[in-house]
């Protein structure tokens, strides 16, 4: 392989893996491949970016805990993921018992014991601050505080507005990146095939022009980022990734996705689905979350405090989701219509996983009571 071919291969390999995410646990990535207003959810342990500069994405996680005025439990409820991530050992703490929270190897450690996965929804300092805020309050005041906290993760209208602002603010960047991409493809092809130069523009001149376009795009991204940061009024603003990509052109071909990475506030997957997912994908996630509240998987060896916490949390999250879905004009009853029988012998189904059975009564392997198929 010639030096030129090696350079071209390395450049495109770095461009393709730029923005890739690989983690210990599965996360939702809502990806808009072409830059439209809809983004499709995918749940897995790795994610890539759209190769097209117009693409953008929102990452989201199920909340790995449940809480109530009594305390905090590491058994999740209202999970949109299937299978829902559940802990091997159920733990519950009263708010006043939580003395220390730290993050180690992607886990939140509460009072010295590994508790749950660390997510952007709940960092160690968030959790410690919440415990400190709840501890001196009455149960009624705690309930209000926790409900407000829950609502912060359930704001589809806000997420939709952010997606619109991001797309509008970065339209010029997509144009700049698109031109750079086309120019880079051309220059790569001419390197590989050793095309004779046309005479009008020499290869070095073309490369300098591309470099100028790259710097111009990053400069424009810096300008737009100032407006975006002002819009979210976060103090301190998230660290800027732009100086890094100025010196690393493979990372600067998708500036919209780069600015979008820290643009969406941590949210429940259902809120993101309501904001940006197309109807079928949205309905699936809404169904999963509601089914997890209505037919929860029982924690193994559940202790009374965990049960108390989960009862409050399921009821409260269910109420909040119901109000939200009504506002978003999602017909909940339609989601829970019994499925059509998949065979002549099918006579029962599991309302949670929708699997069908040929024996009426009993329960599915996950312990959910079966319902008759009409």
Footprint on this chain of Zn ion (rule: CB under 5 A): 350, 352-353, 364, 366, 368
Residue 97 CA to residue 89 CA, distance in Å, equals: 18
Q: How far is the CB of 355 from Zn ion (least distance, A)?
A: 5
Q: How far is the CB of 341 from Zn ion (least distance, A)?
A: 16
Phi/psi of residue 224, each to 5°? -65, -35
Identify which of residues 265 and 351 has a Cβ nearer to Zn ion in the complex: 351
Q: How far is the CB of 350 from Zn ion (least distance, A)?
A: 3
Inter-residue contact 299 to 91 (CB < 8 Å): no
Residue 14 CA to residue 178 CA, distance in Å, equals: 17
Q: Which residue has the tokens 């004779």?
A: 196
Inter-residue contact 306 to 86 (CB < 8 Å): no
Q: How far is the CB of 233 from Zn ion (least distance, A)?
A: 45
Q: What angle do CA 221, 226, 228 make, to 5 degrees?
A: 90
Identify which of residues 79 and 119 has a Cβ nearer to Zn ion in the complex: 79
Identify which of residues 181 and 355 has a Cβ nearer to Zn ion in the complex: 355
Q: How far is the CB of 161 from Zn ion (least distance, A)?
A: 37
Identify which of residues 202 and 366 has a Cβ nearer to Zn ion in the complex: 366
* 72-to-65, 67, 99, 131, 321 alpha-carbon distances in Å: 7, 4, 13, 9, 20
Measured N-to-C along each axis, helices 156-169 and 269-276 cross at an angle, to the nearest 10 degrees, of 50
Identify which of residues 127 and 370 has a Cβ nearer to Zn ion in the complex: 370
Identify which of residues 233 and 374 has a Cβ nearer to Zn ion in the complex: 374
């Amino acid at each position: 392989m010639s030096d030129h071919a090696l350079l071209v291969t390395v450049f495109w390999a770095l461009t393709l893996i730029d923005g890739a995410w690989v983690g210990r646990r599965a996360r939702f990535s809502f990806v808009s491949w072409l830059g439209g207003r809809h983004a499709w959810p995918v749940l897995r342990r790795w994610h890539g970016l759209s190769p097209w500069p117009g693409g953008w994405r929102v990452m989201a996680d199920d909340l790995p805990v449940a809480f109530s005025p009594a305390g905090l439990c590491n058994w999740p409820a209202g999970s949109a993921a299937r299978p829902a991530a559940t802990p091997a050992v159920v733990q519950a703490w009263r708010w006043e018992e939580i003395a220390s929270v730290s993050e180690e190897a992607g886990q939140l450690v509460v009072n010295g014991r590994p508790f749950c996965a660390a997510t952007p929804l709940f960092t160690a300092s968030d959790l410690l601050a919440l415990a400190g805020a709840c501890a001196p309050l009455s149960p009624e005041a705690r309930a209000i505080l926790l409900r407000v906290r829950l609502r912060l993760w359930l704001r589809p209208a806000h997420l939709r507005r952010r997606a619109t602002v991001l797309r509008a603010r970065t339209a010029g960047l997509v144009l700049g990146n698109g031109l750079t991409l086309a120019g880079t493809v051309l220059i790569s092809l001419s390197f590989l095939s050793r095309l004779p130069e046309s005479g009008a523009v020499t290869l070095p001149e073309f490369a300098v022009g591309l470099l100028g376009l790259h710097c111009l795009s990053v400069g424009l991204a810096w300008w737009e980022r100032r407006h975006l940061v002002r819009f979210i009024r976060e103090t301190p603003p998230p660290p800027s990734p732009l100086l890094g990509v100025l010196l690393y052109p493979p990372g600067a071909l998708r500036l919209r996705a780069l600015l979008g990475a820290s643009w969406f506030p941590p949210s429940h997957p259902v809120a993101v689905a309501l904001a940006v997912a197309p109807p079928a994908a949205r309905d699936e996630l809404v169904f999963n979350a509601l089914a997890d509240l209505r037919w929860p998987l029982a924690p193994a060896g559940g202790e009374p405090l965990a049960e108390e916490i989960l009862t409050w949390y399921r009821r409260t999250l269910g109420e909040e989701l119901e109000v939200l879905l009504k506002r978003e004009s999602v017909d909940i009853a339609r989601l829970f219509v019994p499925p059509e029988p998949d065979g002549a012998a099918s006579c029962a189904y599991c309302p949670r996983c929708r699997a069908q059975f040929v024996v009426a009564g009993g329960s599915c392997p996950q312990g959910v009571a079966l319902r008759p198929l009409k």
